[in-house]
Structure 1
């Protein structure tokens, strides 16, 4: 077995364990060239994408991983619809009220919102085959991560390339990641942010607390996976359905 085949076999086995599927039936293609391993294909969700990239990079024989993985969209949408949904989400989000928003339509960058008064950044949105690209600058890492989460929340998004710069620059750390996950939880209508805690260590986010349903728990976990810089998510959230009211309560 040549070196390239050996590396692909090792990675395929690691991906099979991470995604809990037969290594020979992975929805991921592997291409190795010049020490760079490229992962291609469409995976079920962002958690699978992040896990696949992490496991591939952990194989000692892999020098560098190139990401060409896309996520299967919850709803198939055209690029224009994805762009318009994200445009509206950015304009509605109060955290971006001092940021200009522009969208690329048919190759032309069009301004859709210019703040009155202080301008603290510009977010440029473009979409190509379901892949959202964010360019420009924002005032903090939390803003950058929140913009990325909003892009991931669009049902038709297949991937998000978040190239937003931070002006002025900030040093990234686990606390920044934790703050961004909390910001996403606070904005997610499916999540009770008060009931769910977050801590991050070495880019691994741990979620704890309670959720009233499996749907709410899954939404909180998804928000963490959508946060740029998160390598893994450990969920300790307990599902505690709301208690049914007693007869006395109902008749009070």
Structure 2
């Protein structure tokens, strides 16, 4: 029911340490989650929508959250907090990342070892209060390449372990040389499609993911 979905969304938002849900309002109408109110960072706004999509029964998420930052912050303070966020993220080697902040816009340059690390750096920057935009110019220089067969086995294992994937046998995984993963087949929801993409991205040796999964029923309904 809508009430059960709303309760699950609220519980997930309260659990997620990325989000201050004090001024966040959740409504559900016929499986459509409407998020309103305010959060202190753009990262929290994005995270709230991600959390809502993970709940079973959600058909759509409308994110009307407003970002209300407590007070203007200096670029120097923002840069220091971005650096701390990168240092605290085990996915990122902050020593290879150069941070520049101008008017609240964070620009990341330097090198990383994978696209996962590049995306993680952006996520970390967005969590910092005062950030209004993130320009990610990090260059990906992969380390030792893994054989396609090993990557294929690991992606399939990840899909099988992931409780968000209702039927991993419906997902076809293709791995091309160089770590390019292609996902094809059908899934039951946009959240499941996103979860499959995440599983591929977080597999060692993956440098690119093409997610061609089709959400069953959405094309017929026009969504």
- TM-score, normalized by length of structure 2? 0.42
- The structure with the larger Rg is 1
- TM-score, normalized by length of structure 1? 0.38
